[in-house]
Structure 1
């Protein structure tokens, strides 16, 4: 039955506990856990009920009772007490951690002693109770880095210390060797004696100003309130850390504008000497200082949105600078990832949207420190779009600072953002009026060159960028271009080096600046050496070797060729003639096609033998004569048209002559710039010669043909005429 009750009770337990406790004592165990309802982090102190042990039962009952009624600053804040379980009592508190003073600075120890003294002063002055269990084992730290007290087993009223006097010795014997050790003493002086002992344990050497006071505490001659009053003016209690804590402690009672004033004072103190926060108690910076600054920034931003014309609030720039100084430096005071994700990351995202140059400059200054702590998705979606706009800012300082931060995000952005957005802005900054911006542009291109994919025409982009910078009127961009070429040696293949890169470096060899010439010369040798090494690996085919002597060919005498050409000019062509069938008449052919056509037709009309020898056509043959005359007319028209056409025409049939065009080896070189200049020169010199040649050719060409004999019939006449037309070569000439 008891097992069943425990199971039901455990099932209804509203907290989830870790498997192992963080601290165990003979009286209680401290275990971290979370609340099931809202995942609030808590620490659960479990007391075991021991009815058979009257001492433990009395101590447990006293501790639980005081935990319920004492609600003072400096004590571990109790959230809930569960005593319904017959075996255990659970005291649920805020999440706390056992005190660890290892590595704490002197200022941090002084702040801790100050907080413990203030708590004891409240217990003695306001609650009128005695703690009686003060020791390092009963001191915990909360999420705000405050030292707070737990362990109320001996807590008694100052007016009635019977419980303390009765169980002090038993308690000391029970917890001996567990970290809760105390020295039994008289009720009135127990807290003073235990505080003096605590100070001696924390300080390797007690501050000289405290020697007398600590001695009085240990002897019970000085009370806790007296000690707090006297040490208030000493140096250990006047540190910057204690001053910051006191102002933050009173921040909750101030209005929004008053909070901004207090935080402004704090940020000035921190920026003057941020080292005071080094080695502070864990949680002081992450859980107290940074959240308050973040809340202050949020208050200012919301006020500026609702009241744009309000001048009562300060700028957020100093507060953002303070947070960055605490979290985003090379050696940050706070490197807790949960704090960064909860407070700093949203602050970065929101501030990149604000069009404030001071704020943007601040974001760029700390950019290398916080960008590695962001995810790629954060950079792609939340950082890069507003970041890249800084390259187009009208202020040159913002442009150059943005340029310097580009290499930090190259590996985190997408290929599209790199090849499209970023390169487009870099192309503009390369023409910036500021010399340093142009220099940094080419340096940035050199840095991101390894990230460019070959499919995005990497070699073309780099060669164009370096060529443009080598033509820069300032020396620094030219040297930066040579540096980029040197850094990008492995990115170019030998074909690109031969066709593009060497032509890029070449002009630098004739630069006016000696430093540029020297750098270009050494770089040219490096690239040329890479080409030569590659050329040595190419296999040689000696079968393709050709023996040539161009000098001898140029000096060769062409007299024989000239004599042969002149000899051919002396040969006169035989005149062409058309011989009739009777052999009596020889007629010279005119040089032109039109005269030839007319003479042939006239001769046919003048022949008497054709009409005498032919029989008189009968009426039935009239259509034949008409057909012959019509056909004759078409033939004459076709012959006359041949001088303007590239076709051969015979008896109404058109024959098209196709001319085959052979491609020259140098047709692909026509897009060279030299081709245009050379063509212009040839056009001016040869245009008149070409026209003259055409005229001369048309005047000297003759129509060669065999003698046309008189046909015996009309059909034979036209067939023979068609054959003569087909043998005409005009179509080919034209």
Structure 2
């Protein structure tokens, strides 16, 4: 099997396939190794090319490690929890096991570099991670009645969103399980003694079988707290016999409010030790350190958004609006953004706040991912009947319209957007009209010269004067984009309709539209259709209209004078 390793990942895949097995992944770069227990690779899922991680357990040289590898696979496959490494697939050979999971990276190197963060930012981030680990342990200890047995920095991984995921299931055991490995092989993992509780140091790993499943993990959780906040002073003195209680001077960077509980987690008496569940419950009280951690609050708020009250939703969105720019980019893009997009599906007043937040976070999304992460969900929302959602999409169209392609606009946006022209709510109709100028370059000739113009003709008769005015302005701006025959047939009637409007600014808009499209008219049409049809505006009762009419006529006449000068004298 060393030979296989020397061949590299591509060759390994080839040889495995020759053995009759099809790998569900393609191995990529090696990320890290855990001292002969496993090798972690970045990989790609074969069926959809999505990024995944692969843990390779090679026990060809150490057959005694086979039970650990098999236990890791069995437990990870059956333990499904949001804070546990997500199992996806596996390949088992005689001397090797591959476990494919969601794409993750080791916590350890990130933790080492976290010292560059601000003090509060680092504390928030670590306590958020400790919260996730505590939730996972409470589930394993209480619901599964099992002991993880390997809680340490190296058993924790980061998802793309930066969330801590509990892995390292090599020793996870239930004392009632006849094949439990923790009690006989606990010492097989590297550095196991420095993370083991006092009862193990005294009587060996088998001692855990008689105690509560939570005891060893609680002690390791306390050590994890110290390793995260005080990496240069790990393990703490209390981890060695006779296990003296941690003095105040040993707190280091552990938050003051957490330190008393840290000491209770490290209680050398297993029966008096605070459990992960107890630690979690204290932290989640109204004034607790977890409940008031901004990242914990944001995650809980996002997870419960659908069932939250309007006041709770408003509070969460206000917090996001005020602080989203200070979040780690990976957290904002991969954790906050998908939850906000999902929340948009529920519509309502929240959409007015969520859409700009989505677009704000989207500025940090790589171009290669923008279409899937931002455009796809927003385009899908155009089919929503919710007016709040529609208004939010239209109000912020300028921020993403240039990234839409013609096919998407033609087949997925315009078919739904056009319903806004006949909406019973005036602000929707007006916003729909205003949106067209941003999408016009991406409309097909058929839509632009037929479907759209039919809608705009109706909008020129809208009960709202502002909508009639904006429609005329829009037609004027669209003029140069229309087909030759369409211009000849549509423009003069459309602008003439505006000149006859009872609203003064609609009449002014008609004149300005004539001027803006002067180059769209043949000289003959200027002389025989444009000037004759708009000249009555020269004596309009409103001075504003008359002044604009004279400017228009002056422009048209000068153009005709230039043209007339080129004609052959008769």
TM-score, length of structure 1 as denominator length: 0.54
Task: Tell me how large the CA RMSD over aligned residues is.
Answer: 4.9
Distance 1:237 1:162, change over 3 A: farther
Aligned partner of 2:296 in structure 1 is: 242
Distance 1:508 1:109, change over 3 A: farther
Aligned partner of 2:158 in structure 1 is: 140
Aligned partner (choices 490, 494, 499) of residue 465 of structure 1: 494
* Structure 1 residue runs without a partner (length 5+): 173-181, 252-258, 298-315, 545-734
* Structure 2 residue runs without a partner (length 5+): 5-10, 176-180, 202-215, 233-251
Aligned partner of 1:606 in structure 2 is: none
Q: How far has the Cα of 1:332 moved from its partner? A: 6.9
Hey, what's the Cα distance between the residues in 1 that align with 2:265 and 2:134? 14
Distance 1:85 1:426, change over 3 A: same
Hey, what's the Cα distance between the residues in 2 that align with 1:270 and 1:340? 21
Aligned partner of 2:205 in structure 1 is: none
Aligned partner (choices 523, 526, 529) of residue 497 of structure 1: 526
Q: How far has the Cα of 1:501 moved from its partner? A: 3.8
Matched, 1:274 2:293: no
Q: How far has the Cα of 1:123 moved from its partner? A: 5.6
Q: How many residues were matched structurally?
A: 488
Aligned partner of 1:68 in structure 2 is: 74
Hey, what's the Cα distance between the residues in 2 that align with 1:207 and 1:331? 35
SS at 1:139 equivalent: strand
Aligned partner (choices 42, 47, 62) of residue 57 of structure 2: 47
What are the residue-to-residue correspondences of 1:223-622 with 2, within 5 Å?
225=276, 227-232=279-284, 233-235=287-289, 237-239=291-293, 241-243=295-297, 245-246=299-300, 261-262=307-308, 267-275=313-321, 279=327, 280=331, 282-285=333-336, 290-291=341-342, 294=345, 297=346, 316-318=347-349, 324=355, 327=358, 336-339=370-373, 344-349=378-383, 351=384, 354=385, 361=391, 364-365=394-395, 375-456=405-486, 458-503=487-532, 506-535=535-564, 538=566
Aligned partner (choices 80, 88, 98) of residue 90 of structure 1: 98
Aligned partner of 2:17 in structure 1 is: 10
Aligned partner of 1:28 in structure 2 is: 39
Once the two structures are superposed, residues 105-126 of structure 1 have per-residue CA deviations (whole angstroms, 9 ceiling, x without a partner) of 7766543332123334556675
Once the two structures are superposed, residues 279-338 of structure 1 have per-residue CA deviations (whole angstroms, 9 ceiling, x without a partner) of 4365324555645775xx5xxxxxxxxxxxxxxxxxx53576676455456957987533
Aligned partner of 1:130 in structure 2 is: 149
Distance 1:224 1:344, change over 3 A: farther
Is the contact made by 1:28 and 1:45 (CA closer than 8 Å) also made in structure 2?
yes
Hey, what's the Cα distance between the residues in 2 that align with 1:207 and 1:529? 81
Hey, what's the Cα distance between the residues in 1 that align with 2:372 and 2:282? 40
TM-score, length of structure 2 as denominator length: 0.67
Hey, what's the Cα distance between the residues in 2 that align with 1:533 and 1:246? 71
Distance 1:60 1:467, change over 3 A: same
Q: How far has the Cα of 1:425 moved from its partner? A: 3.0
- Which is greater in Rg? 1
Distance 1:22 1:168, change over 3 A: closer
Is the contact made by 1:14 and 1:35 (CA closer than 8 Å) also made in structure 2?
no
Is the contact made by 1:131 and 1:155 (CA closer than 8 Å) also made in structure 2?
yes
Which fold has the larger relative contact order, with Cα–Cα distance below 8 Å and residues 6 or more apart in sequence?
2
Q: How far has the Cα of 1:76 moved from its partner? A: 1.3
Distance 1:465 1:108, change over 3 A: farther
SS at 1:15 equivalent: coil
Hey, what's the Cα distance between the residues in 2 that align with 1:391 and 1:79? 47
